[in-house]
Chain A
Amino acid sequence: MTKSSMSSFALDSIINNPLFGVFLTLLAFKFGQWCYKKTNRNPFLQPMIVGLFSVFLALLAFGLSFDQYFATAQPLHLMLGPVTVALAVPLYENVQRIRAMLTPVLITVLLASTITVSITIGIAWLMGAGQSTLLSLLTKSITTPIAMAVSTEIGGIPSLAAVFVIYTGIIGVIVGPSILDKLRISDKRIRGITMGISAHAIGTARAIEEDRETGAFSALAMGMTGFITAFALPLIVLWSSY
């Protein structure tokens, strides 16, 4: 046995280890966090985005297919289920906290999410987007774990749905606060609701930076948007396909 084949055998044993994907993902995410901190929280450099590109480059470098990677990164992916269930906890707590405002928030969530999805689908359809892309766009303003689960159910592509959700969130935090300032919206409740509906978790993180009340309203709006969309969308898609 030559020296080079020995070392490649040793390398293979790392790459094919059932935890290799987990290790690579943790490493890439840690690197992403480091970059985010170093650039003073540049919204384009969310830890996850830098992490994604790092994993992608590593896969190219090791000559690994996505399926090979995904098989060994499963333990992380599987956590999305319990995390989605856990989203009921902050939703319940925010509903309790902001009881008096529940009806107007609920109506606003319903109207605003219908508007945002209609505009998205309208433009994408006019510009010639295909059916699986259109279906993956339907979940664009709900928090990513719910979006991916729902997207699978309605025939979208969950990984594309996730990318659309994250892009929406980034646009939301980049332009959201300045649009609200220009419109002279200073009511914290309204600012929070707007961020939560249009930019889900990324927007809520930004709203919490503004202040606690804004953050609480954003979290409530994000939770309601996700919850309602998760139950309404499959029914709408099912009904419209008849």
Chain B
Amino acid sequence: MVLLKGLLVLIGFQLAGEFISAQFHLPFPGAVIGMGLLFLYLMIKGSTPKTLSTTSTALFPYIPLFLMPACVGAMGYWSLLQEEWLALLIALTVSTITTIALTPYIMRFFMSLSSSASRRANGGSSSD
């Protein structure tokens, strides 16, 4: 029954998102707005209801399965991929590797900034 209730809530949020997207002509998909609404709801509520954590934990391992029907559709773009595969391969590989090499330094820089800012805020007495 937990899953039933969880799905009811999730689909409810999705439909609310679809409604808002259509009503206000927003450029965001209904499911994405639904995710935003659920996030806001959780922030306001201050904790995750057991139903929702159980349902999402139960659903997530199946995401690859749910993706399969649409991904089979990529085979339909075979001719496009045949023309552009080299560009795609290089673009995706180079950008991913560059990001992996850069992100640690970006993160380290902003971590040191924010820790020195919090030290200043604490009048230099903080020892973390």
Tell whether A238 is near chain B: CB-to-CB under 8 Å.
Answer: yes
Tell whether A180 is near chain B: CB-to-CB under 8 Å.
Answer: yes
Chain B contact residues: over half helix, strand or loop, or mixed?
Answer: helix
Contact B39 A86 (CB under 8 A): no
Instruction: List the B side residues contacting A237 at CB < 8 Å.
Output: 27
Q: Given A194-B104, A230-B28 in contact, is the A25-B80 Cβ separation under 8 Å?
A: no
Binary CB contact string for chain A from 49 to 77 against chain B (1 if under 8 A, 0 otherwise): 00110011001000000100110011011
Instruction: List the B side residues contacting A86 at CB < 8 Å.
Output: 10, 35, 38, 52, 55-56, 59-60
In the assembled complex, 14 residue pairs joining A and B whose CB atoms fall closer than 8 Å, in A order, are: A76-B65, A77-B66, A85-B11, A88-B42, A108-B103, A115-B102, A127-B91, A129-B84, A137-B88, A145-B63, A163-B71, A180-B100, A230-B29, A235-B27
Instruction: List the A side residues contacting B95 at CB < 8 Å.
Output: 116-117, 119-120, 123, 140
Task: State the B residues within 8 Å of A (CB).
Answer: 7, 10-11, 13-14, 17, 27-32, 34-36, 38-39, 42-43, 48, 52-53, 55-56, 59-60, 62-77, 80-81, 84, 86-88, 90-104, 106-108, 110-111, 113-114
Tell whether A6 is near chain B: CB-to-CB under 8 Å.
Answer: no
Tell whether A12 is near chain B: CB-to-CB under 8 Å.
Answer: no
If A56-B72, A81-B11, A187-B104 are given as contacts, then 11 extra A-B residue pairs at C-beta distance below 8 Å, sorted by A number, are: A48-B64, A76-B65, A83-B10, A108-B103, A145-B67, A150-B32, A154-B27, A183-B101, A189-B107, A193-B103, A193-B107
Residue of A nearest to B112 (CB): A104
A-B contact count, CB below 8 Å? Answer: 293
Give Cα A77–Cα B73 distance, bound, in whole angstroms: 12
Task: State the A residues within 8 Å of B (CB).
Answer: 21, 25-26, 28-29, 46-48, 51-52, 55-56, 59, 66, 69-70, 73-74, 76-77, 79-93, 101, 103-105, 107-108, 111-112, 115-117, 119-124, 127-130, 132-133, 137, 140-141, 144-146, 148-150, 152-154, 157-160, 162-164, 166-168, 171-172, 175-176, 179-180, 183, 185, 187, 189-191, 193-194, 197-199, 201, 227, 230-231, 234-235, 237-238
